[in-house]
């Protein structure tokens, strides 16, 4: 039996299908990520990868399951969360969720060794000129909520705080939707995870911190954060005001 408890992390928010085993102190023990040439391979490969992880460290040693909870691909999130909940029910262990955007921002911050003076705009592709985005400081503090954003030539970049544009720190656009924002962020550099290993690692490490603080989900009722703006109405364009709360 291992001295430290082990968490299983699942990240299927994008076209990458990724799984990692991380101990309670955030040390990565094993990780695996695969991407299809076209479309998604989650339905075919996720459970195969999970079985492989079970051979490396038996599931009876898993203390919790962490999942990238969205926003992101509807298909990917649905498959990943369903698998995570099934494992939690079967093994009688807790479920921990991590924002997909927070994981992407954390991965970029760690890879680039950013500081509190820096900014990370995490963005996941939502097709056409839409992304799901959120802004973080380089040390992981959240500045804005996960939000659907639409880009058009008429929009100004009011999504970002004006003071940040004059910051002496670095600006980074992270995630598979980052390229769409760069025309509005000429001062920013681009960081894009191409393997999924960095983001699933972030899911595991961030979840290990939440697990220590007993921040777990209600297993029966938990659902992914789809941020499906078109269900409630059209996505908000950057630079427009939104009423209500």
Asked if residue 28 lies in contact with residue 50, where contact means CB atoms within 8 angstroms, the answer is no
Positive or negative: CA dihedral 109, 115, 116, 120:
negative
Q: Which residues does the chain have with pLDDT short of 50?
A: 163, 229-236, 238-245
Asked if residue 184 lies in contact with residue 238, where contact means CB atoms within 8 angstroms, the answer is yes
End-to-end CA distance of the chain: give it in Å, rounded: 49
How far is residue 226's CA from residue 100's CA, in Å, rounded to a whole number?
11
How far is residue 35's CA from residue 29's CA, in Å, rounded to a whole number?
21
pLDDT at 4: 76
Among candidate residues 179, 174, 206, 207, the one with its CA nearest the CA of residue 193: 174
Among candidate residues 136, 102, 124, 141, the one with its CA nearest the CA of residue 227: 124
Q: Which residues pair with 95 in a beta bridge?
A: 65
pTM of the model: 0.85
How remote is the C-alpha of 8 from its chain's centroid?
15
C-alpha count within 13 angstroms, C-beta hemisphere, residue 116 = 1
How far is residue 191's CA from residue 204's CA, in Å, rounded to a whole number?
20
Asked if residue 238 lies in contact with residue 159, where contact means CB atoms within 8 angstroms, the answer is yes
C-alpha count within 13 angstroms, C-beta hemisphere, residue 87 = 29
Asked if residue 117 lies in contact with residue 138, where contact means CB atoms within 8 angstroms, the answer is yes
pLDDT at 21: 96
Say which residues have a Cβ less than 8 Å from residue 70's Cβ, sequence separation at least 6: 13, 77, 99, 100, 146, 224, 225, 226, 227
Q: How many CB atoms lie within 10 A of CB 230?
A: 10
| Domains with residue ranges and CATH for the chain | 6-99+195-228 (3.30.420.40), 101-191 (3.30.420)
Q: Which residues pair with 23 in a beta bridge?
A: 6
Q: Is 231 helix (H, G, I), strand (E, B) or coil?
A: helix
pLDDT at 2: 63
How far is residue 155's CA from residue 144's CA, in Å, rounded to a whole number?
18
86-134 per-position pLDDT tens digit: 999 999 999 999 999 999 999 999 999 999 999 999 999 887 778 898 9
């Amino acid at each position: 039996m291992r001295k430290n408890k082990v968490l299983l992390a699942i990240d299927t928010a994008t076209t990458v299908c990724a799984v990692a085993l991380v101990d309670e102190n955030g040390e990565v023990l094993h990780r695996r990520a695969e991407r299809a040439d076209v479309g998604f391979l989650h339905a075919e490969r996720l459970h195969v990868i999970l079985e492989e992880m079970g051979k490396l460290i038996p599931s009876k040693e898993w203390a919790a399951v962490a999942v990238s909870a969205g926003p992101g691909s509807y298909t990917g999130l649905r498959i990943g969360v369903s698998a995570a909940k099934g494992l939690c029910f079967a093994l009688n262990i807790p479920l921990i969720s991590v924002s997909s955007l927070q994981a992407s921002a954390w991965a970029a911050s760690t890879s680039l060794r950013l500081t509190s003076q820096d900014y990370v705009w995490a963005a996941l592709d939502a097709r056409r000129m839409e992304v799901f985005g959120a802004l973080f400081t380089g040390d992981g503090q959240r500045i804005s909520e996960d939000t659907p954003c639409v880009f058009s030539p008429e929009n100004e970049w009011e999504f970002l705080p004006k003071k940040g544009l004059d910051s002496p720190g670095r600006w980074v656009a992270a995630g598979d939707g980052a390229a769409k924002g760069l025309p509005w962020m000429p001062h920013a550099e681009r960081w894009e995870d191409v393997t999924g290993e960095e983001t699933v690692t972030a899911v595991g490490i961030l979840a290990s911190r939440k697990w220590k603080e007993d921040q777990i989900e209600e297993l029966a009722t938990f659902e992914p954060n789809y941020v499906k703006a078109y269900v409630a109405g059209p996505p908000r364009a950057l630079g427009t005001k939104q009423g209500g709360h």
